[in-house]
Structure 1
Amino acid sequence: MSLTFSTITLPSGPEHVMMDTENKLENMAKTSSNTIRILVCSTCTGNRDRNTETIALYQAIKNEGLDKTVLAEFGGCLNACSEPIAMGLQGSGRASYVFSGIDLVKDAEDIARTCKTYLELRKGWIVDAQDCGRLRHCLHARLPAWP
Structure 2
Amino acid sequence: MRIQWLFADKQNSIKEALRLAGLEDKIAVLPINCLGACKHAQTVAIRGTNSAAFLFGPVKFPEDIPDIISTCRIYLETPDGWIEGSRDCGNLRHCLIGRIPD
Cα root mean square deviation, aligned: 1.4
Q: Is the 8 A contact 1:40 1:87 kept in 2?
A: yes
Alignment of 1:62 with 2:27, yes or no, is no
Which structure exhibits the higher relative contact order, with contacts defined as CA atoms closer than 8 Å and separated by 6 or more residues?
Answer: 2
2:99 — aligned with what? 142
1:83 — aligned with what? 40
1:39 — aligned with what? 4
Per-residue displacement from partner, 1:106-146 (whole Å, max 9, x unpaired)? 1111111111100000001001111111111100010011x
1:115 — aligned with what? 72
Q: Is the 8 A contact 2:11 2:29 kept in 1?
A: no
In the alignment, the residues of structure 1 paired with residue 14 and residue 37 of structure 2 have an alpha-carbon distance, to the nearest angstrom, of 20
In the alignment, the residues of structure 2 paired with residue 60 and residue 135 of structure 1 have an alpha-carbon distance, to the nearest angstrom, of 16
Amino acid at match of 1:66: L
How many residues end up aligned between the 2 structures? 102
**Identity of counterpart residues, as a percentage?**
32
Per-residue displacement from partner, 1:77-110 (whole Å, max 9, x unpaired)? 1111111201111101110011110123111111
Q: Is the 8 A contact 2:11 2:31 kept in 1?
A: no
1:101 — aligned with what? 58
Gaps of 5+ in 2: none
